[in-house]
Structure 1
Amino acid sequence: MRTDAATPPARVRPPRTRRRTHTACAAAFLLAVTALPASAAAAASDTTHVDGRLPSGATYMMDVPAHWNGTVLLFSHGYVSGPDNPAQDAADDATKALLLRDGYALIGSSYATTGWAVADAVPDQIDTLSAFTERFGAASRTVAWGRSYGGLVTTAIAERHPDRIDGSISLCGLVHGGVANWNNTLDPVFAIKTLLAPDSDVPLVNIADQTAADDAVSTLTSVVDSAQTTAEGRARIALAAALHNIPGWNQPTQTRPAAADWDAQQANQYEAVQGLLRTVAFNRRREAEVRAGGNMSWNTGVDYARLLGESSVRKEVTELYKKAGLSLRADLAALNRAPRISADPAAVAWMSSTSSFTGKLAKPQLSVHTIGDALVPVQTESALKRAVTAAGSAPLLRQAYTDNAGHCTFSPAEKLSALHTLEDRLTTGRWVGTDPESLNSRATKADPTTPTRYVPYRPTPYLRPYDLAHPADGR
């Protein structure tokens, strides 16, 4: 069902008729109409769809089925760069169709800006929830959920606005927080430059502009490509990958290597390292540094031998170094001798205040991760558990894992299972059936057409856990 609205944003097709909609922010919220995705429309042709704009400039969207079950799901989307910044209210069309079928109301905003936008995203999401309540009435239950960077936004909402939600779900989220994220992103590129391009002047932090970012990507990508052609280079790429806990199986298109097939595992890591260089290490870092007002990462005081010793793939690195005839001890010593990088204290303080967590939960949270994630490694869940436990909130947190490769490659069934598990916790007041067998059973009931891959799993420690202390001195 279409809704009519005031003058819509220019990039939204105008509705056939118009009328003014008043909200708690008076005429600041402008509503418009667009067509539903085909899959969602097929699942719920009687859904009311609303597009709107917040006072911040962010757009939002809402989909409310006629048979609304009283629960609203506030979706936080992942990292977006570039000018195209649409609002999103579900992780994907297939999951959206199932949720509408089951009567859930779906809402979410675009965030006022793209990039590392948590300072905009959290208030925009809360304002979207307020706009929903003004238009459709109070929900009987509100669940915040998000994927990838949206998992960071969701966890920030859970910590800062527990009065507005009943519970939360993070899917493959950056639940280690911003400071830890950028420190952990620094380690692999530091190793690549130190061991494979020691004479390079590539800046790893304080990226001056887009040209500098592009040049850095080009230079280090070329270095890595060349290194991949030799046994010595492959061993060193594996070491760099290990410092980010990049697994040896990290894309659904990859054949899963045997446990001791070190060469195949390294080849898969090489692909992930290429992706890290092209996206996060320089381009996204530059954008985050602009927001933070400087460099928010450091590796002063870091013992890279210790980090490797705690890495999930240390055995592979050891074996590849043996095969190449290289001294791993010598390379680790070279990393520990290399000139270190210090952070800008003000930038660290900004990243801590906007993008890091205390671990203090007031409402239940279920955090779910794929075990083969190279972009946001599953070890981030160890960092979250450590913080939540230290804050005394452990009873409110549960974590679950799916046995598949890639970032956020959950099936619709797995996502609905997570939702139903959290709902059981909210209904009963206790966690019920968070074991893999129960999660898979719920998933199959929710959608028998897509995979169910929950497994018992315990991630190794996050490699920079002390970063969660959020030091403001930049070390």
Structure 2
Amino acid sequence: MRIRMLLSAVVALSVVTAAPAMAADDQPLPGYTIVNPPLAPATVGGKPTRVLQGVHGHAAYDIEVPPQWNGKLALWAHGYRGQGKVLTVDPPGYGLRQRMLDQGFAWAASSYYDNGYDVKAGVTTTRELASLFGKLVKRPREVYLAGVSMGGHIIGRSMEEYPGFYAGALPMCGVLGDQALFDFFYDFNLVAQDLSGVNAYPVPADYQTNAVPKMEQTLGLNGTLTDRGKQLRAITVERSGGARPGAEASFELWKHFLFTIAEAPTGQSLAEFPAQLATNIFTRYTPNTPVDVNRTVRRVPPSNLWARFTPSLTQIPHIAGRPTAPVLSLHGLGDMFVPFSMEQAYRDDVARHGRSGSLVQRAIRTSNHCEFSPAEAGTAWDDLLKWVQTGKRPAGDVVNDPRVVSAAGYGCKFTDPAATGGTRGLFPKCA
């Protein structure tokens, strides 16, 4: 009887050991769900890749390793997902997934554990994914970062949060000017309110259905711009990067969308309510005629001073401008969701810290957000790799000289001449 009882206990113990309960961090946070369907392996040299998928640190992840791995890892940082509660994973875009695999790179991408504008989640989860890769596959010899939009904010901060860990970075259409992005959104809406005489701050519940139509009608945004509408356009062009090819045509593309960003918050965290750190207190608007906007516009201080000025890793943190490895960035000239001025702000920050030699920036003649061809992204990736391996800094564009940026041919050097469609027709053809 005692032997049978002992055997039963051993069997029961072996069952528990064989099927342990899911770890607490291997499932999403409360309120979140994960949608990460099976990723079909790619083919490299006639052989399939190895794909690993799972959940770690409350975030979903994808890992792909080529048959002949070169020991290097590329981490992909996705952009803003909105305020929903479904976590998803993106593979590297613009043909970079296959390009990386063909070059012998493994890649990995995380959903992050949170949506909203949560850069902290992206910074920490992406770094933890590199460690997980070392456990599941092997510790990589070099780790690179690439990504888009908010992913660029994640990349810029990651380079400073973990100095020396990343070998190089490719932020595309990135929020490299960090909190200045939310100042820009304030600029558009507060100036539009001032020029139209519509008082709509704080943003009311009927902003989109009542205040915005009044502003659009008064300023001529639905047809021919009034003089005040032209002033709004000129101020928006200046605040988004200054006079440059395609700027006025890009304003036509973005003028209605920029109103939709001014909405009531979905919560009180920074990720849910980014506007709490935005301000226009010290902004000087140009041109300042026919309306003396600098005298009449509503001035709004940041409601969360700590979040605005802390150097800590918050959900919307600062990027100091201290890259610790080569950074090559791409940005659309007419993008006004994450405007070209983000590149100018980052350039100024990097120069202030004496690290201009670690940054190369390229302007692409497009207006949609993150509108790049596979050739534009692939060439940038290849040039970044050569830079890291040889130490020879590749060519780029000057982004902070108004005379250069406003020239008719600006952005032609790195724009793919074979790419068509999208918003490329808004720009005159390059010589």
Contact 2:117 2:271 in 1 (8 A): no
Select the structure that is richer in helix.
1
Residue in structure 1 matched with residue 157 of structure 2 by the alignment: 156
1:301 counterpart = 2:301: no
Letter in 2 for 1:342: P
Contact 1:224 1:237 in 2 (8 A): no
* 1:96-245 correspondence runs (5 A): 96-178=97-179, 180-196=180-196, 198-204=197-203, 212=204, 215-226=206-217, 227-228=220-221, 229-232=223-226, 234-245=229-240
Q: Measure the CA separation in 1 of the matches of 2:199 and 2:414.
A: 53
Count of aligned positions: 377
CA offset digits 1:434-454 (Å, max 9, x no partner):
589xx999999xxx9867xxx
Secondary structure of the 1:116 match is coil
Q: Measure the CA separation in 1 of the matches of 2:39 and 2:62.
A: 11
1:408 counterpart = 2:370: yes
Contact 1:359 1:388 in 2 (8 A): yes
How far off its partner does 1:359 sit? 1.1
Identity of matched residues, %: 22
Q: Measure the CA separation in 1 of the matches of 2:266 and 2:280.
A: 15
Q: Measure the CA separation in 1 of the matches of 2:128 and 2:195.
A: 48
Contact 2:44 2:102 in 1 (8 A): no
How far off its partner does 1:350 sit? 5.4
Contact 1:416 1:443 in 2 (8 A): no
Letter in 2 for 1:50: L
CA offset digits 1:82-120 (Å, max 9, x no partner):
23320223125x332333233221101111111111121
Per the alignment, do residues 101 and 160 of structure 1 end up closer, same or farther by CA in structure 2, a change over 3 Å counting?
same
How far off its partner does 1:246 sit? 7.4
> Which of residues 343, 366, 370 in structure 2 aligns to 1:381?
343
Letter in 2 for 1:242: V
Secondary structure of the 2:54 match is strand
Contact 1:53 1:59 in 2 (8 A): yes
Contact 1:78 1:150 in 2 (8 A): yes
Residue in structure 2 matched with residue 337 of structure 1 by the alignment: 296
Residue in structure 2 matched with residue 48 of structure 1 by the alignment: 50
Residue in structure 2 matched with residue 252 of structure 1 by the alignment: none
1:394 counterpart = 2:394: no
Q: Measure the CA separation in 1 of the matches of 2:323 and 2:250.
A: 37
Per the alignment, do residues 240 and 286 of structure 1 end up closer, same or farther by CA in structure 2, a change over 3 Å counting?
farther
TM-score (norm 2): 0.76
Letter in 2 for 1:201: A
Residue in structure 1 matched with residue 256 of structure 2 by the alignment: 274
Deviates more, 1:168-177 or 1:400-409: 400-409
Per the alignment, do residues 285 and 269 of structure 1 end up closer, same or farther by CA in structure 2, a change over 3 Å counting?
farther
Contact 2:265 2:272 in 1 (8 A): no
How far off its partner does 1:186 sit? 0.8
1:369 counterpart = 2:328: no
Q: Measure the CA separation in 2 of the matches of 1:440 and 1:273.
A: 25
Per the alignment, do residues 420 and 151 of structure 1 end up closer, same or farther by CA in structure 2, a change over 3 Å counting?
same
Letter in 2 for 1:46: P
Residue in structure 1 matched with residue 402 of structure 2 by the alignment: none
How far off its partner does 1:54 sit? 1.5
Per the alignment, do residues 266 and 401 of structure 1 end up closer, same or farther by CA in structure 2, a change over 3 Å counting?
closer
Letter in 2 for 1:340: R
TM-score (norm 1): 0.69
Letter in 1 for 2:187: D
Letter in 2 for 1:329: T
How far off its partner does 1:218 sit? 2.8
CA offset digits 1:394-445 (Å, max 9, x no partner):
1111112222332211111211211111111111123145589xx999999x
Unmatched runs of 5 consecutive residues or more in structure 2: 1-17, 28-33, 399-410, 421-431
> Which of residues 310, 315, 318 in structure 2 aligns to 1:356?
318
Contact 1:32 1:52 in 2 (8 A): no
Per the alignment, do residues 277 and 194 of structure 1 end up closer, same or farther by CA in structure 2, a change over 3 Å counting?
same
Contact 1:241 1:273 in 2 (8 A): no
Q: Measure the CA separation in 1 of the matches of 2:147 and 2:271.
A: 25
Which of these two proteins has the greater Rg computed from alpha carbons? Answer: 2
